[in-house]
Structure 1
Amino acid sequence: MTVSIHAPLLPAATAVTHAAAYADGPRLLADVGGTNARFALESAPGQIGFIAVLPCAGYPTLAAALQAYLASPALSAGMCAGRIRHAAIAIANPVTGDLVRMTNHHWEFSIDALRRECGFDTLLVENDFSALARALPYLDAGQKCQIGGGAAREHGAMGLLGAGTGLGVSGLVPCREGWSALRSEGGHVTFSPVNDTEIAILRFAWGQFEHVSAERLLSGVGLELIYRALAHHTGQPDCKLAAPEITRRALGGECALCDQVIDVFCGMLGTVAGNLAITLGAQGGIYIGGGIVPRLGERFAASPFRSRFEQKGRFVAYLAQVPTFVITADYPAFLGVSAILAEKLAS
């Protein structure tokens, strides 16, 4: 499979003019989800380029995807010639030891064996949303979009969640050294409905799953589950639509049922985001990442998300002060894994 290398990415918040190249060569950065694996090289502080997005289904192992990227012609010339010594990977999975088994894909690997197989001196593997959380302080105004009111308090804790193949959750809390990212699996908390429609959706989901987590509904397959549940609840035909088609029809004004799916999805996400804000005391703001919400654009801003975010009884006034942002940067996790790797090498 041919690896297509994208144009360099120079994040405004971290780009350094004429930054000196790393003395020990460029560093490999990766962001591995259940659907796609994204790779890049950082040649100097803040200078990230040679980006490639590879489908996970196209490779039997993460090592195979990594080696395909490293063997691409663009990396075999110029500054990328020679061995890459240091690498950091953000992955959509808990990372609690050397062995990593992905939740939403079949890849599994030993971190140390992968390091040796790819010839790295250093290989760090971090949960993808913990890595993304580390990127939050570096996002500039052009890389995020505020939804609703509120103002972030300086050095306040921040919350992060994002729906895509699954539902990622993390947080960023201030500490003596700067920031500490939480290794959370909050997407697997039990889903809690707040109205009759959501109760009906939950009853429908119980017919298929013993445990209905927030991720079951706030993900790509979750959009499809909500669609089937609403079709059943309202007595409408189930056209067995995939998530991208549900979104396309909703945004195109072609299907009232699909539009309702998006409203319900955004409302549920608002409730989960509000729960996270209260749990963390996230007065630095709540950030929304993942693959689904950024594609909704203005439709998300017009959805019930923000009203449901604040719908917490006696804590309405508290949450009204907490800002919510959609992350619009193309590859924000690279900023986080870069920071994690830099700290490791500095120590």
Structure 2
Amino acid sequence: MAARSELPILVADIGGTNARFALATADERRRPVLEQILELRGADYATLGDAARHYLQTSGATVEEAVFAVASPVTGDQIKITNNPWSFSVQALRAELRLHALWLINDFAAIGYAISHLGPEDVRPIGAMPERLARDRTDGHYSVLGPGTGLGVGRVLLRHGEAIILETEGGHVGFAPGNTYELKVLERLLRQYSRVSAERLLCGPGLLNLYRAVGEIEGLRCDAETPAQVSEQANAQPDGLAGRTVALFCELLGCFAGDTVLTHGAWDGVYLAGGITLKLLPWLERGGLRRRFEQKGRFEALLSGIPTLAITHPHVGLLGSAACAFGMHERRAALHG
């Protein structure tokens, strides 16, 4: 792993709304350390290159390698951020930033790399706390998921202390209603979208979609115009339209998380990330998420023993990018002697 005497590695967490940057080094126990963290609004910069160059100028750092986690599939040189107008060539960006190496990973792959570095102070259990976290295990199988600007999903296998990350776009699977009321929700959204994915409901804009669908079903006036206004109204009046919407959102997230566990075989736990998770944490803890998570028919007993942990670490995407960066650095160093 990189030592403090070496150049730091530039790491970034690029979402649909914000771009976060930091310099990654390692402590004496070979754990990633983040320095000079800076969050920028994506809308303030025409390109990712502009934002990255602003950060490097602000920090005054000299770097040769970088790992960027992006809210996008990473399948080749051309990258298009899913809920952001930025698009770019990885090789062109590497040249623009004058880097020797630039690696791109999915944003929820970064969350996957991070979970082996999260302690009890970095998570909040929704349900029972597991006897051991991923940090304390050498082998295990986990899912990471969560709503923010979009709905991210990743799969993590720990084998002999090493994290194997499977990048996915699981948030774009089709929405699966669990009862007749949710069928009505689906019917409303199908009038607007030719296909309704889970992300159409389980993200910031999805919360607003759900709010409007519930209002139409129940014949109630919808006066909130942003996801933030929905959550504010829910906190002010839990029994009102917004409150019922947020409660349903938490149930749907629990249902989706349980389905993800069954798909991944993630029997050791689910780590929940995303800005919406933190904002709605009191609502998630009220029981609807766990109830629907466990409500899987013949597999209810199995799901009831699988922990769900909300990540409270403030820069988990950057932490995971740093953990990934050191592995990439070591492999590159070995390749070049």
* Equivalences for residues 5-20 of structure 1 within 5 A: none
1:308 aligned to 2:298?
Answer: no
Matched residue, 1:7? none
Following superposition, the deviation at residue 152 of structure 1 comes to 6.2
1:37 aligned to 2:23?
Answer: no
Q: What CA distance in whole angstroms lies between the structure 1 residues aligned with 2:131 and 2:193?
A: 38
Overall identity of the aligned pairs, in %: 38
Q: What CA distance in whole angstroms lies between the structure 2 residues aligned with 1:61 and 1:91?
A: 13
Following superposition, the deviation at residue 300 of structure 1 comes to 1.5
Q: What CA distance in whole angstroms lies between the structure 2 residues aligned with 1:28 and 1:146?
A: 31
Matched residue, 2:334? none
1:329 aligned to 2:308?
Answer: no
Out of 283, 286, 291, which is 2:267 matched to? 283
Following superposition, the deviation at residue 308 of structure 1 comes to 0.2
Contact 2:140–2:159 under 8 Å retained in 1: no
Contact 1:152–1:322 under 8 Å retained in 2: no
* Equivalences for residues 174-323 of structure 1 within 5 A: 174-175=158-159, 178-253=162-237, 256-323=240-307
Q: What CA distance in whole angstroms lies between the structure 1 residues aligned with 2:18 and 2:215?
A: 30
Give the AA of the match of 2:237: G
Following superposition, the deviation at residue 330 of structure 1 comes to 0.1
TM-score for the superposition, normalised by structure 2: 0.92
1:64 aligned to 2:46?
Answer: no
Matched residue, 1:173? 157
Following superposition, the deviation at residue 307 of structure 1 comes to 0.3
Give the AA of the match of 1:33: G
Following superposition, the deviation at residue 298 of structure 1 comes to 2.1
Following superposition, the deviation at residue 150 of structure 1 comes to 6.7
SS of residue in 1 equivalent to 2:22: strand
Contact 1:202–1:212 under 8 Å retained in 2: yes
Following superposition, the deviation at residue 338 of structure 1 comes to 1.2
CA distances 1:201-223 after superposition (whole Å, capped 9, x unpaired): 11000000010000000011110
Contact 2:16–2:149 under 8 Å retained in 1: yes
Give the AA of the match of 1:179: A
Following superposition, the deviation at residue 40 of structure 1 comes to 0.6
Matched residue, 1:131? 110
Q: What CA distance in whole angstroms lies between the structure 1 residues aligned with 2:142 and 2:18?
A: 26
Output the aligned Cα RMSD: 1.7
Moved more, 43-52 or 149-158: 149-158
Following superposition, the deviation at residue 344 of structure 1 comes to 1.3
Q: What CA distance in whole angstroms lies between the structure 2 residues aligned with 1:335 and 1:47?
A: 8
Q: What CA distance in whole angstroms lies between the structure 2 residues aligned with 1:145 and 1:162?
A: 14
Following superposition, the deviation at residue 293 of structure 1 comes to 1.3
Q: What CA distance in whole angstroms lies between the structure 1 residues aligned with 2:220 and 2:69?
A: 41
Give the AA of the match of 2:306: V
Counterparts in 2 of 1:284 and 1:152: CA distance versus 1, 3 Å: farther
CA distances 1:218-263 after superposition (whole Å, capped 9, x unpaired): 0111100011101100001121421001011112336611101111
Matched residue, 1:48? 34
Following superposition, the deviation at residue 103 of structure 1 comes to 1.5
CA distances 1:265-285 after superposition (whole Å, capped 9, x unpaired): 011001110011112221220
Following superposition, the deviation at residue 149 of structure 1 comes to 3.0
Moved more, 127-136 or 277-286: 277-286
Contact 1:30–1:38 under 8 Å retained in 2: yes
List 4+ stretches of structure 1 deviating above 6 A. none
TM-score for the superposition, normalised by structure 1: 0.89
The higher relative CO (CA closer than 8 Å, separation ≥ 6) is in: 2
CA distances 1:119-169 after superposition (whole Å, capped 9, x unpaired): 111111100001111111110000001111373674220001110110000
CA distances 1:41-60 after superposition (whole Å, capped 9, x unpaired): 12444321111110111111
Contact 1:150–1:322 under 8 Å retained in 2: no
Moved more, 285-294 or 251-260: 251-260
SS of residue in 1 equivalent to 2:49: helix
Counterparts in 2 of 1:229 and 1:297: CA distance versus 1, 3 Å: same
- Give the unaligned 5+ runs of structure 1: 1-18
Q: What CA distance in whole angstroms lies between the structure 1 residues aligned with 2:249 and 2:260?
A: 17
Contact 1:288–1:325 under 8 Å retained in 2: yes
Matched residue, 1:144? 123
